[in-house]
Amino acid sequence: MSTAFTATQVIDRPAGTVWQMLTDWHRAPDWMSGVDSVTPDGDTTLRFVARKRERTSEITALRPGESITLTSVQGGVRADYTYSVEPVGTTTRTTLVADVTTTPLWRPIAPALRALIRRTDGGQLDALKRLVESE
C-alpha cells in the first residue's frame, strides 16, 4: 500500500474559485503547513522552501480546473500529491490523495514516512477551506 492518506473537504465556494487558490503558488504557504514559499520555475517545476530546506516538485499530471499532481523525489522516496476539485452545486468537493513509494532500501521505514506525511500534511484541505471561505 502506498497511500499515506486521502482527505476530502467541501468548500463553500465555486470550483473555479477553489482551483484558482489551489494553484496560486505564492499563496500556498497560507494553507500548506510548514511551507515558507513556493516559486514556479518554468511551466512544470515548483521550488519549495519548507522547514528551511529547498525542495523541488514537478507537475506530473494536470487537468486544468479539475486536478493536478505534484511529485517530489528525494533519495529513494517519491511522494505524489494529487489534488482534485469537483463542483457540487454551488460548493466544491476537494480531494487530496498523498501516495508515497520507496526504493527497497527505504521500505523498512516506509510506514513511518507515510504516518509522518499524514500528520504533517493531512490538514491541508482544512486550511485551504478556511482560506478560501475567508476571502
Q: What is the pTM of this model?
A: 0.92
Q: Residue 43: what are its φ and ψ, rounded to 5°?
A: -80, -25
pLDDT of residue 112: 87
Domain ranges of the chain: 3-23+64-134
Please compute, for residue 87, the number of CA atoms within 13 A of its CA located in the half-sphere on the CB side. Answer: 7
3, 28, 31, 65 from 23: Cα distances, Å: 23, 8, 12, 9
Q: Tens digit of pLDDT for each residue in 1-29?
A: 698 899 999 999 999 999 999 999 999 99
pLDDT at 128 over 80: yes
Confidence of residue 111 (pLDDT cuts 50, 70, 90): confident
Residue 97 near residue 82 (C-beta atoms within 8 A)? yes
At residue 2's C-alpha, the angle toward residues 10 and 61, to 5°, is 60
CATH classification of 3-23+64-134 is 3.40.50.720, yes or no?
Answer: no
Q: What is the pLDDT of residues 62-109, one digit of tens each?
A: 999 999 999 999 889 999 999 999 999 999 999 999 999 998 888 888
Furthest CA-CA distance within the chain: 47
